[in-house]
Structure 1
Amino acid sequence: MTDGMLDRDGAMLSYEVQEGEGPTVVQLHGLSSSRASEAAAGFFDWSPVHDAGGRLVRYDARGHGRSTGRAEPGDWAWPRLADDLFALLDAVAPGEAVDAIGVSMGVGTLLHAATREPARFRRLVLVIPPTAWATRPAQGDVYRQMADLVETQGYDALVRAMSAFGTLPLLEAGGWTVAPPPDIDPAILPAVFRGAGSTDLPAPEAIATLRLPVLLRPWAGDPGHPVATSERLHELIPGSVLEVMSTPDDLRALPERTAGFLR
């Protein structure tokens, strides 16, 4: 495995490349997560993608994990994160159309990137797509309240508040009880949340222009990632496949299902 750092405006992106004989697959995590957080939580394991022969590229979004960032809310608008993704692809897979896996915030990044430059992608796996369009303003309010909490009461108060929400029933039923705290420098955390609260998926008419294989894998019971978003994406993207994860076994099957779809 090769580790690297990519210099971006206002950030240094930390990434890793696991070489393979197949096409490049890039994986994008969710808001406040990171490669390390996904490993700690345990329910998003992308090793089967590499085991199946894919050349797996994973990175920490700006300000997350081992990547750096600045306290500028606009840096976390999804079109801006799509710019980062294109820069990474220019560095690690120049001229290649790639497969891509996005989780939550990663879905937003991918859809902005794919609607702008569809020729750069072969297939997409969209895992737990977030609130969008009509449901986005209320989620934006939540993020702004979280930003205010960090600024007025500190990072530990946010962690306590997030813990009070409890574990998603699907995760608890499967024995996934680890809830990693936000893997973001507390000094920029309010800006990250405010940026997330101000952004949205591309317009439905833009998404409807996509013509590539897409697998949608939402999970049930999470208002921050409503199944309704995936249902609407399924309606908009011709030929897309929608598979709702309703049980722990559905979630356990996600890594192999992803690898099979990308094969």
Structure 2
Amino acid sequence: MLKTTVSGSGPSLIWAHGLMLSMTLEDTTGWFHPTQEDGIRRIRYDARGHGHSPGGTASSAYLWTSQADDMLGVASEHATTPRALGGHSMGSASALLAALKQPELTSCLILATPPTAWQTRPNQVRRYRQMQRLIEQRGIASLLRLAAQNPALPNWLLQAHPDHASASLRALSGMRADALMAILDAACACDLPAVSALQQLEVPTLILAWRDDPIHPLETAEQLATALPLAELQIISDANDLQHWPRTISDFVRRHAPG
């Protein structure tokens, strides 16, 4: 059973967090969700093996396609249709694949900092394999030390909010090594759908991207914006603009989702 929270009232937004992160991390950073009620019913959950959700060691359960099924399961249990789907990084991939599976039940889609995909994916796969070797040889504590020395966030964000790197480390430190190995195996096997499939998705889509992050390259966001027929792309490069993302997301959902 996935750890799920429901808050607020209004049009429903099903939301998924990023790889090696959690709902708690998102609450700490405030990147995507407001601190007060804003007319959106937010249905959020910790992905398998993350946060307070259980997870096994079968990598198939962590594939983006499997996570899309998890999102649709949460949506079926907690939301009427149509409903908005969204997520950050890995969670945005889950939301995109879920929308492709049930476009008729998706009022709109929010893709925040989409992950590496297509031609940039192989480099990211090499990073994941390096992380696995480090875990195998020295344990997850060594991975935590490496992550502390090389925070996976844009420099402009770290300068404004150095505590966000610590929040990411806390999320990672709570993961089991065997589950994390399976999660990374699955990540190595994943990629976004072909452009030809995306061109068929007639769902209003908001793409939120930030600059100077090789793990979430602008290239992916721009290619998605070109491929998806009803996409809007917003790009930021400073922490002041990041503060507006929660309201931007809520406004987009209200614009496209019924109450």
Tell me which protein shows more helix as a share of its residues.
Answer: 2
Work out which of the residue numbers 122, 137, 147 in structure 2 matches 1:137.
122
2:19 paired with 1:34: no
- Larger deviation, residues 152-161 vs 184-193: 184-193
| Whole-angstrom distance in 2 between the partners of 1:221 and 1:73 | 30
2:39 match: 53
- TM-score normalised to structure 1 length: 0.89
Q: After TM superposition, give the deviation of residue 174 of structure 1 in Å.
A: 2.0
Structure 2: how far apart are the matches of 1:203 and 1:88? 26
1:190 equivalent in alignment to 2:181: yes
Residue 210 in 1 paired to residue 201 in 2? yes
1:189 Cα deviation (Å)? Answer: 1.0
The equivalent residue for 2:3 is 14
**Structure 1 residues 39 and 52: alpha-carbon distance in aligned structure 2, compared to 1, 3 A threshold:** closer
Residue identity opposite 1:30 in structure 2: G
Among candidates 47, 54, 60, match of residue 68 of structure 1: 54
Counterpart CA distance in 2 for 1:177 and 1:169 is: 13
Give the Å deviation of 1:29: 0.3
Question: Normalization by structure 2: what TM-score?
Answer: 0.91
1:249 CA displacement = 1.2
Query: Which residue of structure 1 aligns with residue 99 of structure 2?
Result: 114
Aligned to 2:69, the other structure's residue is in SS state helix
- 1:207 and 1:236 in contact (8 A); partners too: yes
Residue 77 (1) aligns with residue 63 (2): yes
**Correspondence for 1:3:** none
Name the counterpart of 1:231: 222
Q: How many residues align?
A: 248
User: Per-residue deviation at 1:170?
Assistant: 2.2
Q: Which amino acid aligns with 1:115?
A: L
Q: Contact 1:25–1:98 (CA<8 Å) still a contact in 2?
A: yes
Q: Distance in 2 between matches of 1:205 and 1:235?
A: 11
Aligned residue number for residue 220 of structure 1: 211
- Does structure 2 conserve the Cα–Cα contact (< 8 Å) formed by 1:171 and 1:177? no
Map of 2:159 onto structure 1: 173
Listed one character per residue, the Cα deviations across residues 174-215 of structure 1 (whole Å, up to 9, x for unaligned) are 224332221422231111111111101111111111112111
SS in 2 for 1:146: helix
Distance 1:19 1:226 in 2: 32
Identical columns (%): 34
SS, match of residue 178 in structure 1: helix
Instruction: State the SS of the aligned residue for 1:243.
Output: strand
Partners of 2:186 and 2:230 lie apart in 1 by 32
Matched, 1:90 2:76: yes
Query: 2: distance between equivalents of 1:81 and 1:88?
Result: 11
SS at match of 1:47: coil
Hey, what does 1:23 align to over in structure 2?
Answer: 11
5+ residue gaps in structure 2? 255-259
Aligned AA for 1:24? S
Deviates more, 1:174-183 or 1:221-230: 174-183
3-state SS of paired residue (1:67)? coil
Structure 1 residues 248 and 61, CA gap change in structure 2 (3 angstroms): same
Q: For 1:23 and 1:201, how far apart are their aligned partners in 2?
A: 27
* Residue type of the alignment partner of 1:209: Q
